[in-house]
Amino acid sequence: MALTRARAILLVILAAAVAAGQAGAQAAARRVAVYEFVPLAGSSAAYARLFADSLALELERQGYRIVAAARLKELLAVPATDLAAAVAAARFAGADVAVVGFYLIEGQRIRIGARAVDLASEAVALSLEAEGAAGFDIFDTIDALSADLAARVRVALEPVLKSETIVEREEIIVETVVVEEVLELGTPITVALLSGDEGAVVRAEDPARGDPELGVVNEGRLELATKEGAALALIVGKEGHYPKRLSFTASAAEPERRLPRLTAKPASELFFRAALDRPFGLELGYRRYLLAESLAVDAAAGLYFVPYAYPAFMRFGVDPTIDELGGAVDLSLGAAAAFYPLSLLVPSLRLRPFIHAGLGSDLTLALAAGSGSPPISWTLRGLGGLGLRYGGRGYSLALALSFISPAMLSLGALQGTESPMGLRLSAEVTLPW
């Protein structure tokens, strides 16, 4: 009886020891190797390290020990999607769990896949696919996906007693996820973009995703949610205007940023023109732009009074052809073309030089003192020269220096209608039509 009792006590002690050992083994923290996620199908590699770091932080918060990222990079020379190589490197680093994953950016969404492998049994403890918002929400998506994946890894690895695969697919909507005490990579901030171009559309410059729209300027303002230190590349555009690109680094120290003013594309316009050689009158014309706004054609008509002899202060040393009282009423008709060479290289320039050439026709009614029947004449001349145009918001201003040829055709010639080549300095104001 004493021997039986001794055996019973010994068995109880052994059972307690085994149970304590099992409890200690289950309580021991696992060592996890988290590899950089692999971008697929040309997706940007900028988020590969962010996924790994965010997931490692979440696992560390849940009690796991994490293998240093630098150590894993030294041991693995191929992408972590090579599962055999990743498992071997993780074992060499002293880990007992390896986490590998990939991500794919498709338009405004990002899709990830991840596996957690228990190295002792080589069992795939967890296989997960998830999806979330990309664009400027991608940082929140990474945080949310990492928190969710870490929680599932914890469930799957406590403990893995046999080969077990949990395949799950879910869609995570960042806006509806509430996570308490989330450790984020980068501090969330809001940057306000200020613009005088009401209704302008702001896009993220990303040709691979079709430059996704971020918002529209409303009441001179657009607010973007981003992260401290994020590098932003934006395109600002508006119908009828040339787009502008800008890049800057988001910073809480500069919560507001003024966007550059957009330059309006030249369109059909009316213009009013005055000339120094015939100041008593005005010309009205219509202009259209062709060939990506690098070529303009116009037609104009003007009415002027041209005195025979200008006051002395307006002669600039030139003696009048007819030195007597009176003058002539001139009806001018003309057509011209202008070429803007820099518009082919930098179309959004506000200050644009141009070369112009055309024809001018003048129908003149001479009003001579004491004349009973005023004579009428018609002349056709060529014009050409250089100019400079400044494009404002809804208007433009131009100055042009033109060379006027002698009369190419002349009917009812008056004295002075076949004068030699002259110069004309003109100023112009345009309004959209």
pLDDT of res. 260: 85
Tell me the domains of the chain and their CATH numbers: 28-174 (3.40.50.10070), 191-260 (2.60.40), 269-432 (2.40.160.20)
What is the structure's pLDDT at 182? 38
pLDDT at 164 (0 to 100): 38
Torsion of CA 249, 250, 254, 260, to 10 degrees: 70
pLDDT at 317: 52
Strands 188-194 and 201-204: unpaired
Helix, strand and coil percent figures for the chain, each rounded to 5: 20, 45, 35
- Full-model pTM: 0.49
What pLDDT is stored for residue 397 in this prediction? 94
Residue type for 359, please?
L
* pLDDT tier, 324 (very low <50, low <70, confident <90, very high otherwise): low
- What pLDDT shows up at residue 332? 95
Q: What percent of the chain has pLDDT over 90?
A: 20
- Residue 425's pLDDT is 94
> Residue 139, Cβ neighbours under 10 Å: how many?
20
Q: What is the mean pLDDT of the chain?
A: 78
Question: What are 286-321's pLDDT values in tens digits?
Answer: 999 998 789 999 999 999 987 876 666 665 555 555
Return the higher-pLDDT residue of 426 and 138: 426
CA triplet 394, 265, 248: central angle to 5 degrees?
100
User: To which H or E segment does residue 305 belong?
Assistant: strand 295-307
- Dist. CA 323–CA 98, nearest whole Å: 103
pLDDT, residue 366, reads 79
pLDDT at 148 over 60: yes
Confidence band, pLDDT 50/70/90 cuts, at residue 131: confident
Averaged pLDDT, 265-275: 91
Question: Is residue 388 predicted with pLDDT exceeding 80?
Answer: yes
CA distances, 110 to each of 138, 183, 187 (Å)? 8, 21, 21
Residue 270 has pLDDT above 50, yes or no: yes
Checking if the pLDDT of 58 tops 90, the result is no
Q: Which residue has the higher pLDDT, 37 or 141?
A: 37
Residue with tokens 């005088």: 196
| Whether pLDDT at 261 is above 50 | yes
Cα angle: 36, vertex 41, 46; to 5 degrees: 40
- Where b means 16+ CB within 10 Å and e means fewer, 367-402 reads bbeeeeeeeebbbbbbbebebebebeeeebebebeb
Say if residue 20's pLDDT is above 60: no
> Quick check: 271 pLDDT over 80?
yes
More confident: 164 or 391:
391
Res. 173 pLDDT band, cuts 50 70 90: very low
Q: Are strands 65-66 and 31-34 parallel, antiparallel or unpaired?
A: parallel
pLDDT digits (tens, 9 = 90+) for 340-387: 999 888 888 889 999 999 999 999 887 765 544 467 889 999 999 999
Nearest Cα residue to 221 out of 263, 253, 258, 261: 258
